[in-house]
Amino acid sequence: MRHRRRGRKLGRNPNHQRALLRSLASALILTERDAEDDPNTPKVKGRIVTTLPKAKEVRPLVERCITIARRALPQQEAADELKTEAPRNSDKWRAWRHGDRWQAWTRAVAPVLAARRRVLRLLGNKQAMQIVFDDLAPRFADRPGGYTRIMQLAKARRGDAGAQAILEFVGVRDRVRKRAEKPAFEAEPEEETQEPAAEEAAAEEAAAEQAGSEEAAPPAAGAPPPDEAK
C-alpha cells in the first residue's frame, strides 16, 4: 500500500523515474536557448508536448528550480556590484584579487554558487541550469510562483491513446481577456406626461382666471347698466 507516498510511478522504478523527470525538465528549459546555428532547433520556444501525467509530475520540478534561482537574485546583484570588469590576470584584476573587495565578493557570491549547484543537482544539465539563472529567473522576478501552465490536448496519442498535454512557460502566449463593451442606445425623447390631479388643478386655475377677466372688463358703449337690464 502506498500510504503517504506522493507522486506517480509512471510505470518505472525510482531511478528511471527521476531520470525521466530530469530529462523532461531540461527539455522544457532548453527550448528557451538561442539555437540559431543548432540543427536541433525547438519548434516553439518554452513549450513541450508530453502526456498529461508526466506534465503534472515534471511541473513542480521546473517551478522549484526557478524559485531557487529567483531567490538568489538579490545576492547575484550584490555580487555584480563588487565584481571587477578588468580582464583576468591584468594588473587591475590582480589588485582587485588581493584587495578587500574580492573578500566581499566571495561572501556575496557564495549563496548564488550554492543555489546553482542545487539546481544542477536537480536538473543534471549545466546548460539548462545557466538558462534558469540567466533568463528565466530575471523574467519571473516579480512573480511568486506559477511559472508554467498545462493545457490538455483534445487529440489522444497514437498507439496507446494516452492523454496528451502542452507544458509551457507563462507570460508569452497568455490569453488577454477583454470585457465586452456595454451597448449604447440612442436616448428617446421623454413624453411630457402630467398626473390627472395636476391636469385638473391647471384647468380650474385657467377657468378662474377667465371668469375674473370677464368680471373686470368695462361695459360696452350704449349698453344699459346691469341693474336696468334686469
- Comparing C-alpha atoms, which of 129, 128, 103 is closest to residue 116? 129
Of the candidate ranges 63-77, 105-119, 211-225, the one whose mean pLDDT is the lowest? 211-225
Residues 144-190 have pLDDT tens digits of 889 999 999 999 999 889 999 999 999 888 888 888 888 887 766 65
- Residue burial 64-79, b: 16+ Cβ < 10 Å; e: rest: ebbbbbbebbebbebb
- The class (CATH top level) of 15-169 is alpha beta
Listed in sequence order, the residues at least 6 apart from 81 whose beta carbon sits closer than 8 Å to its beta carbon are none
Instruction: Give per-residue pLDDT as tens, 17-40.
Output: 999 999 999 999 999 988 776 777
Amino acid at 33: R
Q: What is the pLDDT of residue 8?
A: 86
pLDDT at 22: 95
Per residue in 59-73, pLDDT tens?
A: 999 999 999 999 999
pLDDT band at 229 (very low <50, low <70, confident <90, very high): very low
pTM for the complete prediction? 0.73
What are the residue boundaries of the structural domains of the chain, listed by start?
15-169
